[in-house]
Amino acid sequence: MKDLLHLCCSRLKAGGRIVLNAATIETLYEAMQAFAAEGFVTSVTLAQISRSKPILHMNRFEGLNPIYIITANREGE
């Protein structure tokens, strides 16, 4: 991932932004480290979605795996 993000960061136009979705905290950590090494500032949003599931004659919500949405901009932009 580090090499891929390096390529993306080096080709990003001025004022551009990179958005990356991560499904694990390990991927989140690796992405944050890679963006920091490239001089990018990041913002992380945690998206948690649930679906309804029937239970008897009622409904309840069952949580799905969370997704981390990382937004990265070059520092100073």
Which pLDDT tens digit goes with each residue over 23-58? 999 999 999 999 999 999 999 999 999 999 999 999
Residue 33 is part of which domain span? 2-74
- pLDDT score at 77: 63
How confident is the prediction for the chain on average, in pLDDT? Answer: 94
β-pair partners for 18: 72
In angstroms, rounded to a whole number, what is the distance separating the alpha carbons of residues 74 and 70? 13
| Angle between helical axes of 2-11 and 25-37 (0-180°, round to 10) | 50
In this prediction, residue 58 carries a pLDDT of 96
Cβ(65)–Cβ(73) below 8 Å: no
Q: How many domains does the chain have?
A: 1
Whole-prediction pTM value?
A: 0.83
Q: What CATH number corresponds to the domain at position 60?
A: 3.40.50.150
